């Protein structure tokens, strides 16, 4: 007999990491009149859909299967987008947890008929959860930052995650306190 205990049947094998560049992608789309709002500029919801589409593609590539949007931390609109703009949505995995991933997205726009460089018009951070065929969470490979910029994004993503978790905790504590005081929501 040995002093070592047998390995647990539920032992989780390590998933090899993937570099940031493995799932990075760009989605490009030309804006038309059907994309406009009442002000004549491109509707924010159209841009948000493109952001979610690009982020979803990146999350699925990184995780090797289906991934669903769990949250959109932040969507900043920096400049209006106009009809005729060619919009480029650039996305990459910034950070991974056990079953979730933060995807960072930059939105650039350029006039379809001009040679000027694109302008950043928006940015967003989304959290995706990898799911199996039954919709249950599944493990994702760790992301391996490749550049200093990737390492900075990884660190910033950890800060955003800590803030998300602290905000969720504070809200739950407040709700419990109000319920204990007899308030019904």
pLDDT digits (tens, 9 = 90+) for 56-82: 999 999 999 999 999 998 899 999 999
Q: Give me the pLDDT at residue 14, please.
A: 83
Strands, E assignment, 3-161? 18-19, 25-30, 67-77, 85-96, 100-111, 119-130, 143-144
Burial of 160 (0-12, 13-18, 19+ CB in 10 A): middle
Element (H, E) at 171: helix 148-180
Walk along the chain (185 residues) and give the pLDDT tens digit of each residue: 444 544 444 455 688 999 999 999 999 999 999 999 999 999 999 999 999 999 999 999 999 999 999 999 889 999 999 999 999 999 999 999 999 999 999 999 999 888 899 999 999 999 999 999 999 999 999 999 999 999 999 999 999 999 999 999 999 999 999 999 999 87
Round to whole Å and give the CA distance between 57 and 74.
19
DSSP helix, strand, coil percent of the chain (3-state; round to 5):
30, 35, 35
Q: Write the pLDDT tens digit of every residue in 171-183.
A: 999 999 999 999 9
Dihedral class, residue 40 (left if φ above 0, else alpha if ψ from -120 to 50, else beta): left
Q: Rounded CA gap, 67 and 102, in Å? A: 11
What is the predicted pLDDT for the residue at 1?
46
Which of these, 19, 6, 27, 7, lies nearest to 143 by C-alpha position?
A: 19
* Whole-angstrom Cα Rg for the chain: 21
pLDDT at 12: 59
Residues 6+ apart with CB under 8 A from 106: 89, 90, 91, 120, 122, 123
- Give dist(CA 153, CA 56) in Å, integer: 18
| Residue 16 in tokens | 């090899």
pLDDT for position 30: 97
Positive or negative: CA dihedral 153, 54, 107, 112: positive
């Amino acid at each position: 007999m040995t002093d070592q205990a047998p390995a647990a049947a539920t032992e989780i094998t390590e998933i090899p990491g993937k570099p940031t560049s493995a799932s990075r992608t760009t989605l490009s789309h030309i804006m038309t009149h059907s994309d406009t709002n009442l002000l004549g500029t491109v509707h924010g919801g159209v841009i948000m859909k493109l952001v979610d589409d690009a982020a979803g593609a990146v999350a699925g590539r990184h995780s090797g299967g289906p991934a669903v949007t769990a949250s959109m931390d932040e969507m900043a609109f920096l400049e209006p987008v106009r009809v005729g703009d060619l919009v480029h949505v650039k996305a990459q995995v910034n950070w991974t947890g056990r079953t979730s991933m933060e995807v960072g997205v930059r939105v650039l726009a350029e006039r379809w008929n001009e040679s000027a460089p694109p302008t950043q018009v928006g940015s967003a951070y989304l959290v995706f959860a990898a799911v199996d065929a039954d919709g249950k969470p599944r493990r994702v490979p760790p992301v391996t930052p490749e550049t200093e910029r990737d390492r900075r994004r990884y660190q910033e993503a950890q800060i955003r995650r800590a803030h998300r978790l602290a905000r969720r905790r504070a809200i739950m504590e407040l709700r419990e306190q109000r319920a204990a005081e007899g308030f019904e929501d």
